[in-house]
Amino acid sequence: MQTRLLEVLSFLGNSEQKKASLLQLISCDNILAQLHTAHPEFCDKVGGILIMHIDDLRALAPLWLSKTEEVRQDKSHWSTNITGDIYGMGWISEMYGYSFGAAEVGLRHKINDDIMIYPGYTPRIGTEPLILHYGLPFKVGNWSFSKLEHHEDGIVYDCNRLFPPPPFPREVEVMESDPNVKRALYLSIECIHTLNEGLLLHHTSVGCPKPQWSKYLSFLKSKRFSELTKPKYWNSLKVENKLTVQHVALSKSRHPKIHTLFSTECSSYFDWQTVGLMHSFRISGQPGNITRLLSCTDEDLKNYKGRDLAPTHYVPSMNRHPLTGDWYPAINKPAAVLHWINHVQTDAEFIVILDADMIMRGPITPWEYGAKLGHPVSTPYDYLIGCDNILAKIHTRNPSACEKVGGVIIMHIDDLRRFAMLWLHKSEEVRADKDHYATNITGDIYASGWISEMYGYSFAAAELNLRHIIRSDILIYPGYVPMPGANYKVFHYGLRFGVGDWSFDKADWRNADIVNTCWAKFPEPPDPSAITKGDQNARERDLLSIECGKALNKALYLHHKRRNCPRLSTTIGSISKKMEEVLTSNKSERVTQRSSTTTIGRNVEHMDVTRQQAVERATDTVSGVHRSKRLARSSKMWIFAVWATSVVVFLLVISMFFSERRRSISRSRASRSQKAHSLTIKQTV
């Protein structure tokens, strides 16, 4: 049986308390394990907190339930000397169900005893518990608390009623001289203070009246209480971090390894972005390897044509959330990073995270920008105003550490491993908070929660107290005026930009299958020599915009060449036919959206230098966008001329017909008049 290492965070306390806790599950060592699992040697005495890979949980969950039911029904082995249950009632059957289920699957646990503590227990020196488990009675001086005494308590529904307040910190200060025992007392009062604060917030949220002032309520709003309950960080990680930092500092002769990630979906829209980014990565000089995180459903993957576009890690699509049904494709980014972290072994020390709609202009390295453990590098996203208002206060316990960053990320792998899960959770949390979608809270002009993933990043980083090195000289949006002297490493073409009459908006090309249409490309930007030498800022802005547009087309050209597209002269007819089909279909679609497919067939002349003569001959027949437009215009004028001529001929024929008819009628009337006159004469005679 293949076994897998699984982190399970268990009981915290000194070694004796740890032993006492683990000895509770004594059946891992006796007949009970032999009866209820085929692998008693894998039975681990664990519980409390679990951190488990989703694939392991999927395998474990049904066995966890079935083994719990199995042990619960085994009443003949409920006795204390077999189970360790002091009541001999099978009450801890669920705990054995977990351990036996994990043994059956073959999961081997890594046990940490410095994450959780029961209030009342004395922590080990140097540990900082992250979770307080108040499952057992505890006391501080003459004050005590037991959750069993409140089993039927309706305290949640009684406005402004709280649990009896514990002693104040200054009273605890004089109770004990032993610093570690005193620290245990502080943990106990922190636990009940946090419970009472939660009750107060709940009562306020359901419309309870403002409570009367009291010394205790004043304390819950004090700076001392904030210090007592501020976020805690795992000391063992800090020790490990210090060692890692020291190792890097001593290794100045070598640069740390880098791995670059970017997330996409399996669609033609992301395929041409992938082609652009991959080409720019290859020529940028970026160290290390790159991986595309491709989020795709099984059904879409069957028909997907872009597997060869980049080194790829496949990720289940989260476009529609599997639990809530919410349609939010942006959640794929943190979900994909987390999936990669959990499934891929990497020796890289730093991870660079980009978006698909980026073009690299040069290497992005941690040593150039100063990234280190605990201090990622990123670029400013000033529109994330939620860092300064109620949104941050709701979604992170450390709002003062919220930083308005995003876009390009350089993060140490150890930071990313503990950050990735929180990034996903905070993104889901902000996305679900529809009450705070408003533009004046989020800065989202559509007030649709679309930038929840960006806030998820900032809030998760604040929660872990990651402090960013914010650099404005890494990324620029084409169309923006560059800072003087900045050597930007990344174009982020997420917004419309243009030069003169030419413009580009990635949204116009959402439905265009450019990658799989030979020689298709985007409208060619103006030549740099056409830029006027007026305002220097405007000139630099336009030159960068042109560079971005040309880089995309260059990437597409090389892609078509790699796919052995036929020479242009042999494909003009078929592409022209496709152009007419796209033009016709676009007329019906333009009411709802601008279709990017209208110009696919118009931009087909791009060839490499070795085929320059072929290009010149081809451009005599079809000369890019402008020639296509002229051909289309000429065709329309010809049709109009034929139509007008037909109308004129038709009118002439009709006119001649009516003229002849009028002459015939006139002759008829004259003839009748002559006959009448002759008859009159005869009668007179």
Q: Does residue 461 share a domain with residue 354?
A: yes
Q: Which one, of 112, 106, 117, lies nearest residue 7 by Cα? A: 112
Number of domains the chain is built from:
4
In a domain, 637, yes or no: no
Asked whether residue 336 falls in the same domain as residue 460, the answer is yes
Distances (CA, A) of 660 to 112, 653, 655, 663, 672: 109, 11, 9, 5, 19
Asked if the structure places residue 470 within a domain, the reply is: yes
Whether 638 is covered by a domain: the verdict is: no
Residue 455, domain CATH: 3.90.550
Q: List, as own/partner pairs, every contact residues 162-171 make where C-beta atoms lie below 8 angstroms and the sequence separation is at least 24, other chains included.
A: 162/196, 162/199, 162/200, 162/216, 163/192, 163/195, 163/196, 163/199, 165/192, 165/196, 165/216, 166/140, 166/192, 166/193, 167/140, 167/141, 167/143, 168/219, 169/224, 169/228, 171/141
Residue 287 lies in a domain: yes
Domain contains 674: no
- 3-class SS at 241? helix
Q: Is residue 249 in some structural domain? A: no
* 28 and 73 together in one domain: yes
- CA distance linking residue 238 with residue 236, whole number of Å: 5
pLDDT value of position 626: 39
Cα–Cα–Cα angle for 341, 342, 347, rounded to 5 degrees: 50
Q: How far is 377 from 366, CA to CA, in rounded Å?
A: 8
d(CA 300, CA 306): 11
How buried is 144 (Cβ within 10 angstroms: 0-12 exposed, 13-18 middle, 19+ buried)? Answer: middle
Query: What are φ and ψ of residue 426, in 5° steps?
Result: -65, -35
**Residue 257 DSSP SS3:** coil
**Mean pLDDT split into 10-residue runs, the chain, 685 residues:** 38 39 70 87 86 89 88 87 83 90 87 81 80 88 90 90 89 84 86 89 91 84 75 51 34 77 98 98 96 96 95 96 94 97 94 98 97 97 97 96 98 97 96 96 95 98 97 98 96 96 97 96 95 88 97 98 83 49 42 38 35 37 39 57 76 74 59 48 41
Q: Are residues 135 and 112 both part of a single domain?
A: no
Q: For residue 617, what pLDDT is reported? A: 37
Secondary structure of residue 540 in the 3-state scheme? helix
Domain containing 599 equals 497-622
Judge if 432 and 539 occupy the same domain. Answer: no
pLDDT at res. 112:
75
Q: Are residues 427 and 549 in the same domain?
A: no
Would you give the distance in Å from CA 655 to the centre of its chain?
Answer: 72
Residues 531 and 612 in one domain: yes
Residues 276, 467: Cα–Cα separation, whole Å: 31
Q: Is residue 641 part of a domain?
A: no
Would you state the pLDDT for residue 596? Answer: 39
User: What is the model's pTM?
Assistant: 0.53
For residue 292, give the 3-state DSSP assignment: strand
Phi, psi dihedral angles at 23 (to 5 degrees) = -65, -15
Is 384:448 a contact under the CB 8 Å cutoff?
no
Alpha-carbon distances of 98 from 24, 80, 548, 594, rounded to whole Å: 14, 19, 56, 56
- Helical residues (DSSP H) of 517-623, grouped into ranges: 536-562, 572-589, 612-621
Q: Are residues 501 and 396 in the same domain?
A: no
Q: Do 303 and 388 belong to one domain?
A: yes
pLDDT of the residue at 18: 42
Q: 580: left (phi > 0), else alpha (psi -120 to 50), else beta?
A: alpha
Q: Convert 301-358 into a string of H (helix), E (strand) and C (coil).
A: HHCCCCHHHCCEEEEECCCECCCCCCECHHHHHHHHHHHHHHHCCCCCCEEEEEECCE
Question: Do 457 and 323 fall into the same domain?
Answer: yes
CB neighbour list of residue 311: distance below 8 Å, 6 or more residues apart: 289, 290, 291, 292
Q: Are residues 99 and 151 in the same domain?
A: no
Is the torsion defined by CA of 227, 228, 229, 234 positive or negative? positive
Tokens 């599950």 sit on residue: 25
Residues composing the chain:
685
| 37: in domain | yes
Helix (H) or strand (E) holding 417: helix 413-432
Residues ≥6 apart with Cβ < 8 Å to 555:
275, 276, 278, 279, 280
- Does residue 153 sit in the same domain as residue 195? yes
The domain boundary residue, chosen from 607, 622, 637: 622
Cα Rg of the chain, angstroms = 37
**Could you identify the residue written with the tokens 């720019």?**
280
Read off φ and ψ for residue 623, nearest 5 degrees.
-115, 65
